[in-house]
């Protein structure tokens, strides 16, 4: 059985992928919590690895935070860029893996709206999250080419799975607490991917590299996701409010900062259609992403 080093395995992605990965690989994990094989902050240190690994799944990174200070901005680059460099330095010492899979993000495109955005889209993301991921991608492309490591960069859309973060997690919590309001009948579409698909892709990616969006083919509306969550939680379908009312509430929410139930940024995300193309991953890897509405189960 091949060996695999998984960075960032103690969070949401690990919860949804480790059970699958453990069936196919001898997995060691690396992260800041004490449940990892290697407990270390790669943003600050070069890890000392005990062996050479066949495959590396690099998912450690900072996300889902809107920075407010220079220190918070810097932390994105410390973790996403310097952490990647420190990991690669460790791999140079113990021996290069056959393949490295990097979990990036569709945020690198910098798109706020659009339909079926492909990998050919220019990388115009300017937020610290997007820019730090772009820099990490560039470093890994150069490093892997130089050292003959097969590199796959996965750019997932919104991820679904057990205990999801971000807007999907907020939707679940809101519906569970009977405090969720649908906006403008939830007509906006979003690309969503099952987090478990990342684990399913690793055996393919270790032999075929490339840069790929990861999302399902359906691109569900918010209304479809709301109905799915409500049904699984045994809750009534959310009440829909008109956009003008949501806009007023968002403007009030702006006064209370990021902890407000709704603000202008959150409103824009849930009322604007933004979808990505998965044609390349299907055509080049022969991988059919899981349909989210059929596979997403809340636990």
Return per-residue pLDDT of the chain as tens, 299 residues: 999 999 999 889 999 999 999 999 999 999 999 999 999 999 999 999 999 999 999 999 877 677 678 888 898 999 999 999 999 999 999 999 999 999 999 999 999 999 999 999 999 999 999 999 999 999 999 999 999 999 999 999 999 999 998 889 989 999 999 999 899 999 999 999 999 999 999 999 999 999 999 999 999 999 999 999 999 999 999 999 999 998 998 898 888 876 677 888 888 888 999 999 999 999 999 999 999 999 999 87
- Asked if 37 contacts 29 with a C-beta cutoff of 8 angstroms, the reply is yes
Place of tokens 């139930």: 261
Q: What residues contact residue 185 under an 8 Å CB cut-off, 6+ apart?
A: 223, 240
Domain ranges, ordered by start, for the chain: 3-164+192-217+276-295
Q: What residues contact residue 142 under an 8 Å CB cut-off, 6+ apart?
A: none
Q: What is the dihedral of CA 126, 128, 130, 133, to 10 degrees?
A: 130
d(CA 298, CA 206): 30
Place of tokens 């057990």: 162
- Any idea which fold 3-164+192-217+276-295 has? Rossmann fold (3.40.50)
Phi and psi at 62, nearest 5°, equal -105, 130
Q: Tell me, what's the pLDDT at 267?
A: 86
Helix axes 128-147, 70-77, angle to 10 degrees: 20
Q: Tell me, what's the pLDDT at 258?
A: 67
Q: Tell me, what's the pLDDT at 62?
A: 76
Q: Tell me, what's the pLDDT at 160?
A: 96
Q: Tell me, what's the pLDDT at 265?
A: 83
d(CA 136, CA 102): 9
Place of tokens 């393919």: 204
Closest among 133, 214, 152, 165 to 65, alpha carbons compared: 165
């Amino acid at each position: 059985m091949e060996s695999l080093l998984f960075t960032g395995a103690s969070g949401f992605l690990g919860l949804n992928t480790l059970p699958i990965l453990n069936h196919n690989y001898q997995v060691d994990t690396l992260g800041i919590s004490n449940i990892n094989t290697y407990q270390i902050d790669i943003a600050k240190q070069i890890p000392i690895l005990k062996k050479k690994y066949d495959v590396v799944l690099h998912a450690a990174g900072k996300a889902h935070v809107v920075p407010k200070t220079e220190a918070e901005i810097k932390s994105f680059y410390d973790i996403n860029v310097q952490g990647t460099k420190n990991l690669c330095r460790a791999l140079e010492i113990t021996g290069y893996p056959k393949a490295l899979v990097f979990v990036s993000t569709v945020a690198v495109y910098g798109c706020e709206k659009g339909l079926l955005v492909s990998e050919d889209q220019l990388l115009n993301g300017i937020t610290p999250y997007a820019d730090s991921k772009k820099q990490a991608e560039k470093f890994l492309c150069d490093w892997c080419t130089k050292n003959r490591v097969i590199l796959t960069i996965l750019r997932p859309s919104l991820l679904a799975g057990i205990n999801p973060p971000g807007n999907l997690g907020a939707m679940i919590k809101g519906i569970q607490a009977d405090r969720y309001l649908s906006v403008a009948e939830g007509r906006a579409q979003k690309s969503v991917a099952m987090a478990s698909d990342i684990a399913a892709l690793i055996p393919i990616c270790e032999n075929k590299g490339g840069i790929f969006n990861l999302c399902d083919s359906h691109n569900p509306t918010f209304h479809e996701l709301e109905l799915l969550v409500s049904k699984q939680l045994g809750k009534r379908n959310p009440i829909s409010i008109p956009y003008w009312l949501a806009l007023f509430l968002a403007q009030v929410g702006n006064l209370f900062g990021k902890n407000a139930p709704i603000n202008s940024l959150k409103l824009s995300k849930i009322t604007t259609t933004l979808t990505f193309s998965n044609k390349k991953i299907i055509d080049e890897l022969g991988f059919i992403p899981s349909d989210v509405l059929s596979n997403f189960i809340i636990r």
